[in-house]
Amino acid sequence: MTESIAPFFKNELGTKPEAVSRAPGRLEILGNHTDYNEGLVLSAAVGQATEFAIRRKPGRKCTMRDFRDGSTVEFDLDHIETPVRGDWTNYVKGVIVQLRKRGHEIGAFDGAILSTVPLSAGMSSSAALEISACFAFSKVFGIKLDGSEWARLGQAVENQYMGVGTGLLDQFSSIYGKKDSLIYCDFRTVNVLRTVKMPSGFVIVVANSMIKHNLVDSEYNERRASCENAARILKKTYPEVNALRDVSPEMLENASKSLAKRDYMRAAHVVGENDRVIRGVSALERGDIAAFGKMLYESHQSSMSNFENSCPELDCLVELSTSLPGCAGARLSGGGFGGISIHLVEAATAQEYCERLKTAYRLRTGKETETIVCSIGDGASVT
Ligand code: GLA
């Protein structure tokens, strides 16, 4: 673990931190909007991470510094029950509130973060912040929860404190990521089914649409309601259905007439994604990169036409990838409605691919895209 935050902390606060945690951002490789439908996702933790340094202190007042911009936010442990609009420490306060609900009180502290996870870009900077706070608190306040409980606590921050109905994917991947591997996650049993090696000779390139992805203001909750509604109606035909996870493509087709058109389209995306994750994992395991890449494109197509969570910028980035050498497949990744696309690209030409994509995107749209050749890292840790 690189503890790059510790010297900043010492410099600024005159004393060493008691603990430093590190939680990475995540990439959803395949399996879009399947997590809250108790489904399957192939994801990864990235090399970019948030570090959280902490030192306890007496009293009730806490400080949180952001070493990226030098700002400091103060709050009182007795006044954190409701989030403050636009305050990044909401994700830290939310963790404290959720710990309290579970019977764990924490004392005052000076905390600080340093992060390389891009903000509002679909790599889940908020989950990285939540999980880094969780692991820092666990260390200095002696709170013992297992990984999936920490993930649920982080999710509860989003669902109950921030008011966004997101699934478990982001926090779970930030905790369970494995270096150079993809993790095959089951969100019914909430565990990692197995890890799948990144195809050798390939990397993930992230191309940012630069369209601000803000789940709080997005249609995420509406999509989720539609999926849950579809599952409820399908249960009338198939009593064994408790979530879209239980619906096969054939079942959906047989019962399609019972669903409103919009709910049918949303369900078709999720059912198709679950199926693609299963087929995608076996394609990777037999080394069939071309088949896997095709599934990435199919996933994007389904986002465009069924789930309607893409945007013209993401569509353009994905389309351009088909005309550039070295790319096996691409799709939007994460919540959608902006944010990022991921591209599975031959490692040897990844830098060149990024340059070509930027130029082609500029020529086509007059706009800029930012690209990152991502490394795949381990999940969260604390020292
Ligand atoms: C966001 C949410 C996740 C997941 C993805 C879509 O990242 O936070 O829980 O639903 O969107 O797959």
pLDDT for 147-166, tens place per residue? 999 999 999 999 999 988 89
pLDDT at 1: 42
Question: Does the beta carbon of 273 lie inside 6 Å of ligand 1?
Answer: no
Amino acid (1-letter code) at residue 26: R
Residue 288 lies in a domain: no
Give the CA angle between residues 337, 216, 358 to the nearest 5°. 35
Answer yes or no: is pLDDT of 125 > 50: yes
Look-up: residue for tokens 């990044």?
88
Q: Which atom of ligand 1 is nearest to the CA of 28?
A: 12
Mean pLDDT of the chain: 95
Neighbours of 306 (CB within 10 A): 19
- Closest by CA to 176, choosing from 164, 165, 188, 184, is 184
| Residues present in the chain in total | 383
Residue 129 lies in a domain: yes
Which residue in 170, 186, 246, 378 is the catalytic one?
170
Q: Which atom of ligand 1 is nearest to the CA of 158?
A: 8
Question: Does the beta carbon of 117 lie inside 6 Å of ligand 1?
Answer: no
Q: How many domains does the chain have?
A: 1
Residue 96 lies in a domain: yes
- Check which CATH number belongs to the domain holding 119 and give it: 3.30.230.10
Please say whether the beta carbons of 69 and 276 come within 8 A: no
Q: Which atom of ligand 1 is nearest to the CA of 33?
A: 12
Residue 296 lies in a domain: no
> 283 is written with which tokens?
């394609």
Give the distance from CA 102 to its chain's centroid.
24
Note if 170 is an active site residue: yes
In this prediction, residue 42 has a pLDDT band, given cuts at 50, 70 and 90, of very high
In this prediction, residue 215 has a pLDDT band, given cuts at 50, 70 and 90, of low
- For ligand 1, pick from 29, 30, 33, 168 the residue to mutate: most ligand atoms within 8 Å of CB: 33
Residue 110 lies in a domain: yes
Do β-strands 327-333 and 340-346 pair in parallel, antiparallel, or remain unpaired? antiparallel
pLDDT per residue over 162-214, tens digit each? 988 899 999 999 999 999 999 999 999 999 999 999 999 999 999 999 987 56
Question: Does the beta carbon of 33 lie inside 6 Å of ligand 1?
Answer: yes
Question: Does the beta carbon of 169 lie inside 6 Å of ligand 1?
Answer: yes
Determine the average pLDDT of the residues in 315-331.
98
pTM confidence score: 0.95
Residue identifier of the C-alpha nearest atom 2 of ligand 1 = 166
Answer yes or no: is pLDDT of 2 > 90: no
How many angstroms is it from 166 CA to the middle of ligand 1?
6
DSSP 153: H
Answer yes or no: is pLDDT of 313 > 90: yes
Question: Does the beta carbon of 32 lie inside 6 Å of ligand 1?
Answer: yes
- For ligand 1, pick from 26, 32, 35 the residue to mutate: most ligand atoms within 8 Å of CB: 35
Residue identifier of the C-alpha nearest atom 1 of ligand 1 = 335
Question: Does the beta carbon of 298 lie inside 6 Å of ligand 1?
Answer: no
Residue 338 lies in a domain: no
pLDDT at 214: 60
Answer yes or no: is pLDDT of 3 > 90: no
Question: Does the beta carbon of 335 lie inside 6 Å of ligand 1?
Answer: yes
Residue 298 lies in a domain: no
Give the domain range for residue 15. 5-29+43-185
Answer yes or no: is pLDDT of 261 > 80: yes
Residue identifier of the C-alpha nearest atom 9 of ligand 1 = 167
Determine the average pLDDT of the residues in 248-253.
96
pLDDT at 217: 60
Question: Does the beta carbon of 176 lie inside 6 Å of ligand 1?
Answer: no
Residue 59 lies in a domain: yes
